[in-house]
Structure 1
Amino acid sequence: MTGELPSSIIAGISFIGRGGGQVKALGGFKKGHHTVPDAANAVTNAFLGKICGPELAEQAEKLFQDVRSRLGYKRKDVALNVTGALAVLTAKDFTVEIFYALEESAPGRYGITTTLRDLQDGDLAQREEFAAVFAGKFTEISFALKKGARVEAIIDVIEALEGEGGLAVSYPSDCRECVIRVEGVDAVVRCSGGTLEMVFSRAGAPHELMAGFAAMRGAFAVNRVLAGLL
């Protein structure tokens, strides 16, 4: 996958999916014995790590079995480790992390972040078996930039284009990040300087997100500075 991207610019790529639910609905939460957290901190997240065990173990085991059977991996090709609120599946061609954490703005809820990283073979992502394992799991692609990019410079370039290529940009007053939209592309790009994150409205498998990325990349080609980002 990363072989299709300029290695001089991109340090790494990850696919991210998000989910969650009510803390009190977790299998390990005992009504009348446990209390729903009213803050997200180290102590309450440690509590979450204890009570999310049944759900996390089930999710991780299902992923392990899907990866092993659909991709034909043998025992030495894939391993699973579950500790507290984190499960890490390490396969010969990629790594997947599933992480539970309380939502800071609503600590009575938890979020689940699934991250696919270190994908070694771009062709693997195009296989039907791989797509079946990760169907509907991801809504974001995150690109780590080797040199970073000045958010202000990106904003200035897009504003100077005055809508050329269907590009539009929004940003807060301190320009700590900007959000780029392209007409006809069902996703936005969030740039914080060190990373570019492409966020889609619908979840999909990695190859589906990469198709959307290709459309966004084509729009960036209208300007040398933007093209240099990806």
Structure 2
Amino acid sequence: MTRKLFRDDPYLRDAEARVLRHTPEGGVVLDASVFYPKGGGQPGDSGVLRWQGQVMPVATTVVGEGDDIVLVPAEPVALPPVGAQVLQSLDWDRRHRHMRVHTALHLMSVVVPFGVTGGAISATHGRLDFDMPEAPQDREALETALNHYVEQDARVSDGWISQAELDAAPQLVTTMAVQPPRTGGDIRLVRIGEEDDWIDLQPCGGTHVARTGEIGALRLGKIEKKGKMNRRIYLHLDS
């Protein structure tokens, strides 16, 4: 099992770890990872591994068997041997942009109050697909609302609730913008705002900034029709 350091501290850029195994495809599994694996619309992290004077560029990170987190080499190079101690270092600028975009998309799910049917994140922009029959008419009002939440510099935090706790308190579901997944295990909740005065609360496994002010100015992009009841809205970081 790989310990998810990115979940303990999404701002951790470097950490030592031990190589647990290699995958048949040529990936590397560590006992602890600062690298976030691709999932929930968020790309896998990139960066480098260093050991004994050698370097392995990491192109991306994916989920492997069980709870394994697999680092995928960017090119055919020697892998750190099983048991070796390595220093893992993120491409921090790219990750931090993913964190900004991901948190911004949570805000967009607030200002566009329709069911979310899909989404994707990049280092410059993101998009959400909404279950809505018509495109929103007032783009300027949406953009203003988004940037208002950014300027509030609201706190972003997380917590956990078990399936049993949720079943025992079904009223909690009414406070969430998104229904929680029921695939077993505890559910991680990401909250924007304070516990008694929140802006958004929804299940999410991704990485986020600590405060909305860190997102920076946002710009609404294209709005596309992707089906009779589906509208895709793009959101861009201004810098």
TM-score (normalised: structure 1): 0.24
Q: Which has the higher contact order (CA 8 A, sep 6+)?
A: 1
The answer to which structure has the higher helix fraction is 1
TM-score (normalised: structure 2): 0.23
